[in-house]
Amino acid sequence: MDGITNTEDKVLTRDELKKFHSALQTFLAEIKWRRDLTVFEKRVKFKDMEDKLNKAEDMLADRAGNVLKLMVDKALSDVEKILVSGKPEELRGLKDIKIAYIGRYTDILKSLFQELVEFGLGEVKKEMKIEKEVAIPNSTRQWISAKAEVIASRHAALIKERVIFGALSGVDSGKTVKQILWDIRMGG
């Protein structure tokens, strides 16, 4: 199909879609903020928040980057052992590869998320001029843990998928073990 269907079940042509998209972009670009900031919003230091988020990205890359590399290296080592055997029946063992260091990676994510939440609480305290200490609620701590575990599990699954698919694709194309491992490492 070359277009999308509107509410009248008429298929829009590419030109009509382009015109619609252009009109939508123009409309969205013209929308302006229509109210003044509140007293509390005026106290927010957006530059500090932006700086903290940028630092958090750098911290994540520094802290988690090495662990992610260890995760990939261990998976590649396991794949190499299977491929070096040269036995086609050993390829079934690829599905059983476990991604190591996931606990360490999860802990790094939890720590970083907690730091960001603590920073946010501090900013709210300043904004609201609250003097007493405000603790992170238990429900938020549980959310942090769950979020970190889900992200770490997802990343581990992606690593496993990339490693297994790369190994099988390399075997199918007749590459050497060294070529297969290189391709996987380079994302090929």
The answer on 28 and 115 residing in a single domain is no
Range of the domain at 9: 1-32
The answer on 15 and 56 residing in a single domain is no
The answer on 49 and 117 residing in a single domain is yes
The answer on 123 and 105 residing in a single domain is yes
Q: Look up residue 4 and give its two tokens.
A: 């999308």
Residues 109-130 have pLDDT tens digits of 999 999 888 888 888 888 778 8
The answer on 28 and 75 residing in a single domain is no
The answer on 170 and 101 residing in a single domain is yes
How many structural domains does the chain have?
2
pLDDT of the residue at 6: 46
Question: By CB neighbour count within 10 A (0-12 exposed, 13-18 middle, 19+ buried), where does 109 fall?
Answer: buried
Question: CA distances (Å), 63 to each of 4, 16, 60, 74, 114, in order?
Answer: 45, 49, 5, 18, 14
The answer on 20 and 106 residing in a single domain is no
The answer on 25 and 41 residing in a single domain is no
Query: Cβ atoms within 10 A of the Cβ of 76, count?
Result: 20
pLDDT of the residue at 140: 92
pLDDT of the residue at 188: 64
The answer on 13 and 78 residing in a single domain is no
The answer on 100 and 47 residing in a single domain is yes
pLDDT of the residue at 153: 96
Q: Which residue has the tokens 């380079």?
A: 186
pLDDT of the residue at 122: 84
The answer on 67 and 10 residing in a single domain is no
- pLDDT tens by residue, the chain, 188 residues: 444 444 555 666 777 777 777 777 676 666 655 677 777 677 777 787 788 888 888 888 888 888 999 999 999 999 999 999 888 788 888 999 999 999 999 999 999 999 888 888 888 888 778 888 888 889 999 999 999 999 999 999 999 999 999 999 999 999 999 999 999 988 86
The answer on 88 and 169 residing in a single domain is yes
Each as own residue / partner, the long-range contacts of residues 114-121 (CB below 8 Å, 24 or more positions apart, any chain) are 114/141, 114/144, 115/56, 115/59, 116/52, 116/53, 116/56, 117/144, 119/52
